[in-house]
A and B are shown apart, each in its own frame.
Chain A
């Protein structure tokens, strides 16, 4: 069957080229369906409990996706006539942003005040208002005493203020909606910055973050993929010294990537931050297949065998190891299907398909190309086996020190593993080169953080929010929340009611307190609601039945653990002080704060299944249960050691890292497979003892392992340069784990074999040709 395939490939290369071309193009066409979904919600599965809670809260109150224009005047003072008018114009323009439902700024803040029995409701900065120094002082005074505005919309120092736009995207076509909003937002930003030299407008908010997911990933792909291709071409030219081989490899890689992404498009997948890194990963993984086939072929040709026969030999020898390593790698990536976060499932599936495509192409298209292209080699002896021999000598002679030494070293690293902290701060998903991150950092330093928690408190009865007992507790809670060290701002109904109570008593400051009568509070709200303009109503704080209220806390940028502990404190406060009310805490930050833990839990079963499958496959391929079991150790240890080392480097484990163990499992297995199969070949067929077998294994695969590991580490290190930290961390830890795996395979596995494999192995009747090259 496979002989027939190889024969066909080598006899009719043009036919194979054509067939592959047609199939690849057909698959690739699907890429037109592949669009980027710019929405942080894609990270959550539909059944994610935090998402479900959040969506229900958003349906009860209004949605809170926002764009924040951070408007910074050149002279550092927002209270000038020109700047206030400017804020007013930006506010008006902001209403033109698609899907905007609310705009908040100091200009359109609905200031209420009393004149005897008149209650006046007006924009804080109205059109045509004369802004003399006393008016400016008055505005500053109002802003600085209004808890709704201070530290949220305007800073205490008065050097920066926000125009905050709430957008409610219909989510019919999220792929188009976010860019549509962002385009308009940037138009406004550019216009005002061009018209007002010195003025700076930075953009933050959930919508800008969503947009950054797409922009950051696409920018990455535009820079990282070419870099990676460069690394591959350079490595191959230097190490294998072949132009045709390099060219053919690049074709295989490009075809695998194009077809895998195209198939993803056909299957109806969206692109997301993580799955957008699939091309880089396929690129990295596809190289190994070609290197194995090329190096065997060259080895044969150097011995004077003609190209066609050398190629056929190479295919025969490499078919099974290449297939086996491709399948194990695919299984590792498929384990990501257990992830709770859909983008990682997509990533796993795309890469798994890509890896299998690369395998198919490298046994069909690759030899066909090599047949057509001119390939010449100088007939020389390979000189550079020397270092593998000296490494083998070192390992065999120092095995009694290496085994305990490496064991201690490995255990030591693994001991650090549990000390990693789970953390998902989505602002930090982007590095400081991303404008969204810069804007948000600025906002955090000068105004407020971007960490928000929505706390919905259900009184349990219709109109119950007007109950003085409820209001009193809400007031105490708001004060308590405000006094927490991490709090920047609290938006609460009690502030509005206190102000109205004051207004209703002729602006007497002593009435700046909560109404003590249910009817009074209800009637104030009725009056207030009737005098507010479109979009500035209370519907984002109150439900229709006025039984629930939503308090929104804004905090300094917190880690997941800090946020979860704050959430616990909030829940405890209510359990202690107001157990009669139903309290729900939600928000995007909290959703991310819980996601890693959920994801790691769900990934554990995926890893376990992948491990069982891969071990079975190995046991079968090596034809030995015993070596299948021994292989577990060098396959499992690298990921654990990688995470241990990660603690010493960074120590924060987020969503991106939670899939690394499963992902690397399939890759690191390859080294073990190659090493063990050569070792066993020597033991079984050359009657070698374990020491001699180790030396043989080093000699025959040491160099290939080193080259493929080098390419893999380079590839994932390129991914580690991503401005999208989720992908960057994932790339870095994967590279680290692969490197560690090689160290383990070179320094730990051989001593282990030499110590534990002392028995003489029965030579099997049938040769274990399976994984030999």
Chain B
């Protein structure tokens, strides 16, 4: 009798825990993405400077300098303002973007030479950003809804042991069929991303180097290196001057104030 009772108890426990233990790779991947987002949430606003170094196969180099301000949005993509400093002929050009996880972003560009703000209506996020190997979609904020996920395996990486997770873009205008991300299990930082083009062949690899922690919580890499395997070009993004919670608000991310962005 006692034995039977124990057996039923065990059976019940097994049945209950079954679904939890048998988490699908898709669920696991989503769970990791949620954790990434969760850990990085709450920085409110930030600004930083970015130096881009572009290289082609022939070894020629070219440099771009921009500043980025971002405003965190709950339940939507972030708002961001990009101010171009170099090359000199685009100095003062400012780009405002309200990103959305699923619909096309709202985008405005202020052209100082024309002294006008132009709204850009385009679904395209997959083209090269300033002629670099980064697509605009590689630089925009990470939102859970942008992808569906699949956990692949654990693998050691620069950040210790990493989850290897495949991310499938929901946006059909994305330039990729999938991204494979290496995320460390300790801090949930992304160390490496491989990008697979529309025919599912490896296009680019992005590596993150020199992670630093801000506000005792938010990790940002000093260096992002993108290598395009198909055309042999590469781009380095060097970040500096990270500042968080500097008091930016909606009025700093406004079409009408774009002209005055400095």
Residues of A in contact with B (beta carbons under 8 Å apart): 56, 59-60, 62-63, 95-101, 110, 117-122, 168, 170, 462-463, 466, 504, 517-524, 526-527, 529-539, 542-546
Contacts and interface: CB of A to CB of B under 8 A. Distances in A.
Given A121-B122, A545-B54, 15 more contacts: A101-B230, A462-B87, A504-B114, A522-B89, A523-B89, A523-B112, A523-B114, A526-B130, A531-B122, A533-B175, A534-B127, A537-B128, A537-B131, A544-B60, A546-B62
A437 B112 CA distance: 52
B7 interface: no
22 contacts: A95-B198, A117-B116, A117-B117, A118-B118, A121-B122, A170-B229, A463-B87, A504-B116, A521-B89, A522-B113, A524-B111, A529-B127, A530-B95, A530-B130, A533-B126, A534-B124, A537-B131, A543-B56, A543-B62, A544-B62, A545-B61, A546-B62
B175 A56 contact: no
B55 A544 contact: yes
Interface string B89-121: 110010100000000000101011110111111
A51 to B, nearest CB: 15
B228 to A, nearest CB: 10
A249 B100 CA distance: 79
B57 interface: yes
A737 B183 CA distance: 72
A60 B111 contact: no
B119 A531 contact: no
Given A523-B113, A534-B126, A544 B121 contact: no
B54 A527 contact: no
Nearest to B127: A532
Interface of B: 54-58, 60-62, 84, 87-90, 93, 95, 107, 109, 111-114, 116-124, 126-131, 135-136, 173, 175, 197-199, 201, 229-233
Contacts of B57: 59-60
Given A517-B113, A523-B114, A537-B131, A544 B90 contact: no
A108 B29 CA distance: 34
A117 B118 contact: yes
Contacts of B88: 463
Given A118-B119, A523-B113, A527-B111, A534 B135 contact: yes
Contacts of A168: 230-231
A523 B90 contact: yes
B87 A532 contact: no
A62 to B, nearest CB: 6
B89 A544 contact: no
Contacts of B198: 95-96, 534
A98 B128 contact: no
Contacts of A544: 54-56, 60-62, 131, 233
Contacts of A517: 113
Contacts of B126: 533-534
Nearest to B128: A537
A529 B114 contact: no
Contacts of A530: 95, 107, 109, 120, 127, 129-130, 136
Given A119-B119, A120-B122, A523-B113, A529 B60 contact: no
Contacts of A518: 89
Contacts of A462: 62, 87
Nearest to B233: A544
Contact of A527 (B112, B118, B123, B229): B118
Contacts of B173: 533
A117 B131 contact: no
Contacts of A546: 62, 87, 131
B109 A527 contact: yes
A117 B107 CA distance: 12
Contact of B112 (A97, A519, A531, A545): A519
Contacts of A532: 124, 127-128
Nearest to B197: A534
Given A118-B118, A519-B90, A530-B109, A539 B232 contact: no
Contact of B58 (A56, A101, A120, A523): A56
Nearest to B123: A122
A283 B87 CA distance: 66
Contacts of B131: 529, 537-539, 542, 544, 546
A537 B127 contact: yes
Contacts of A522: 87, 89-90, 113
Contacts of A531: 107, 120, 122, 124, 127
B127 A533 contact: yes
Contacts of A536: 127
Contact of B119 (A63, A117, A122): A117
Closest 7 CB pairs of A and B: A534-B175, A534-B126, A522-B89, A519-B113, A59-B57, A532-B127, A545-B62
B52 to A, nearest CB: 10
Contacts of A62: 231
A443 to B, nearest CB: 25
Nearest to A542: B131
A529 B89 contact: no
A117 B256 CA distance: 13
Contacts of B197: 534
Contacts of A122: 121-123
A60 B197 CA distance: 22
Contacts of B135: 534
Nearest to B132: A544
Contacts of B231: 62-63, 101, 168, 539
A604 B66 CA distance: 59
A518 B127 CA distance: 23
B233 A526 contact: no
Contact of A121 (B121, B128, B201): B121
Given A95-B198, A530-B129, A545-B60, A519 B89 contact: yes
B60 to A, nearest CB: 6
Contact of A97 (B62, B93, B199): B199
Contacts of B175: 533-535
A529 B230 CA distance: 20
Contacts of B107: 530-531
A279 B230 CA distance: 38
A126 to B, nearest CB: 9
A518 B61 CA distance: 21
Contacts of A504: 111, 114, 116, 118
A64 to B, nearest CB: 12
A462 B86 CA distance: 11
Most buried by A among B60, B89, B119: B89
Q: Which of A63, A98, A118, A519 has the most CB of B within 10 A?
A: A519
Given A59-B232, A523-B90, A531-B120, A543 B127 contact: no
